[in-house]
Amino acid sequence: MSNVSQFYSKEHIQEQACLWISRIDRGLSPTAKQALVNWSQQKHTHYTTLLEMASYWDDLSVLNELSDLFPLERNQPKSRKLTAIVMAASIAFISLISANTLLNESFIPFLPSYKEHQLTQIQTFATKVGEQASFTLSDGSHIQLNTNTEVAINYGSNQRKLTLVRGEAQFDVNHDISRPFTVVAGEKSFTALGTIFNVQKNNEQALELVVIEGRVLIAKANEAIDVIKQSFDQPLATLLPGILVKSGEKATIAEHVDAPVQEVSLSQVQRDLAWQQGMLIFEGEPLTTALADISRYTKIHFEIIDPQIANLKVAGYFRADDIDGLIASLEINLNITSSKAPNNTILLSLAN
């Protein structure tokens, strides 16, 4: 058993408390409720920070939920613990009332909104060629970046907007109906509520969307957020300001042409997302297509010398960073020989 204790800063505890309150606002499962109670009981500062952060929230249902999770104990009416609970809950309630009824409106512009501050996040995440990385956003959503990818985060009080500047990323979205989660890529936007989806941007017009869970609305990049919010209440897909893609479906956008949404099998989804395990899967693609995909993960460039090998079919599993293994496979299975050239270039031709 380890005797090393983990210590956390005040800021880290405040961040955890805010995440818990956000989850309370969306609704907790019985398991999550017990996890919250356990976390609050680990340290007294966890509990007091939770109540402090709750005092800034503008929804009384959060305080009601906390009162249900931490009821007053009848047998200890004078204990210091109960006194602290009553005082903290009172402060939280008074803070909400005073913020909404006691303050003159002329003073409000001079008082920073803590909740608005918590909802705001402006940041950029990026990976280099051959690199992959995962990040957790301030609302609890997760993004996983593939090779040579850049995502700009711009969270506000009424929208969570991300821009896929280049590359490919998967987004695991935390549900928040009041703040739609929108990814802008090129000329299109992809908006979700509680969803897991993958977006690949090849250029401003060539995009690919795979929805793993939930649903995503494809619209114009400059579509108004109010129109997008209203669209999720539309019962008919024909009234939506774009294309609705559901779980297990894939949409391809190329040069201003939106291809029909396709249903994809589980194996196809796993193939499209194999990059998350550092793998590439090919099932009969032309050699030129396979090499273009592999080139995304390395600074090595491939040049086909013999045109007759360009359309040879490639099939198999390859590690994205294993160029030597790829070359060996091409030599054995397709009778292709390789040679190195300047500027990280590999020349490919048909063996004699």
Q: Is the Cβ–Cβ distance between 32 and 26 less than 8 Å?
A: no
Domains of the chain, earliest start first: 10-110 (no CATH), 120-268 (2.60.120.1440), 279-350 (3.55.50.30)
What is the pLDDT, as a whole number, of residue 286? 93
Taken in order 143, 147, 153, 158, is the CA torsion positive or negative? Answer: negative
What is the pLDDT, as a whole number, of residue 102? 40
pLDDT band at 17 (very low <50, low <70, confident <90, very high): confident
Average pLDDT for residues 244-249, to the nearest whole number?
A: 87
What is the pLDDT, as a whole number, of residue 60? 62
Average pLDDT for residues 39-60, to the nearest whole number?
A: 75
Average pLDDT for residues 99-122, to the nearest whole number?
A: 49
Comparing 126 with 113, the larger pLDDT belongs to 126
What is the pLDDT, as a whole number, of residue 149? 96
What is the pLDDT, as a whole number, of residue 111? 38
What is the pLDDT, as a whole number, of residue 6? 44
Q: What's the CA dihedral at 334, 272, 199, 126 to 10 degrees?
A: -70
% the chain with pLDDT above 90: 30
Read off the pTM.
Answer: 0.62
What is the pLDDT, as a whole number, of residue 257? 57
pLDDT in tens, 297-306: 999 999 999 9
pLDDT band at 165 (very low <50, low <70, confident <90, very high): very high
Compute the distance between CA of residue 62 and CA of residue 167 in angstroms, rounded to an integer.
39
Q: Is the Cβ–Cβ distance between 207 and 186 less than 8 Å?
A: yes
Average pLDDT for residues 32-56, to the nearest whole number?
A: 80
Q: Three-state secondary structure along the chain?
A: CCCCCCCCCHHHHHHHHHHHHHHHHHCCCHHHHHHHHHHHHHCHHHHHHHHHHHCCCCCHHHHHHHHHHCCCCCCCCCCHHHHHHHHHHHHHHHHHHHHHHHCCHHHHHHCCCHHHHHHCEEEEEECCCCCCEEEECCCCCEEEECCCCEEEEEECCCCEEEEEEEEEEEEECCCCCCCCEEEEECCEEEEECCCEEEEEECCCCCEEEEEEECEEEEEECCCCHHHHHHHCCCCCHHHCCCEEEECCEEEEEECCEECCCEECCHHHHHHHCHHHHCEEEEEEEEHHHHHHHHHHHCCCEEEECCHHHCCCEEEEEEECCCHHHHHHHHHHHHCEEEEEECCCEEEEEECC
What is the pLDDT, as a whole number, of residue 5? 35
pLDDT at position 187 over 80: yes
Q: Is the Cβ–Cβ distance between 164 and 201 less than 8 Å?
A: yes
Backbone angles phi, psi at 300, to 5 degrees: -80, 135
Average pLDDT for residues 254-268, to the nearest whole number?
A: 74
pLDDT in tens, 125-139: 999 999 999 999 988
What is the pLDDT, as a whole number, of residue 151? 96
Contacts of 149 (CB under 8 A, 6+ apart): 126, 127, 164, 166, 167, 168, 169
% the chain with pLDDT above 70: 73
pLDDT at position 78 over 80: no
* CB half-sphere exposure, 197, CA atoms < 13 A: 31
Compute the distance between CA of residue 326 and CA of residue 315 in angstroms, rounded to an integer.
11
pLDDT in tens, 297-346: 999 999 999 999 999 999 888 888 889 988 998 998 899 999 999 999 99
What is the pLDDT, as a whole number, of residue 128? 95
pLDDT band at 233 (very low <50, low <70, confident <90, very high): low
Average pLDDT for residues 90-99, to the nearest whole number?
A: 47
Selection from 42-51, 63-72, 254-263, 290-299 with the highest mean pLDDT? 290-299
Tokens of 1: 């058993």
Average pLDDT for residues 154-182, to the nearest whole number?
A: 90
Average pLDDT, the chain: 78
Exposed, middle or buried by CB within 10 Å (0-12, 13-18, 19+), for 177? exposed
What is the pLDDT, as a whole number, of residue 8? 54
Tokens of 262: 């396709």
What is the pLDDT, as a whole number, of residue 167? 95
Tokens of 143: 């993004």
